[in-house]
Amino acid sequence: MWVSARRIARDAMTKWVRLVWARRVYQMREAQAGYAPDPDWSKVPKFDDLVLLAFGPHGIIRDKNHPIYRDLIGAAAKKADDDGTDL
């Protein structure tokens, strides 16, 4: 099942398609000629830039010192002089 979806995703990099579930596999339906210009993925920002745009610089949890992570595990708020190491 995922093999057919991956094949269709690969084709979707160069033309407009629709992924359709048919019985036990995905099938591809191509858009009619003139539907839209061919996809130009070079204009789409890199994935990391999209994540940063969506969550902002402080919305991404990168380590155990992030305030949201510390709050979820019940750790005390990090002080300005706290280097994150527990003694």
- In angstroms, the CA 87 to CA 75 distance is 14
What distance lies between CA 78 and its chain's CA centroid? Answer: 29
Once rounded to an integer, what is the mean pLDDT over residues 55-84?
Answer: 80
The pTM (predicted TM-score) of the whole model is 0.50
| 87: pLDDT strictly greater than 50 | no
Place of tokens 């999209």: 50
The CA R_g of the chain, rounded to the nearest whole Å, is 22
pLDDT digits (tens, 9 = 90+) for 36-58: 988 888 889 999 999 888 888 77
pLDDT digits (tens, 9 = 90+) for 7-39: 999 999 889 999 999 988 999 999 999 999 888
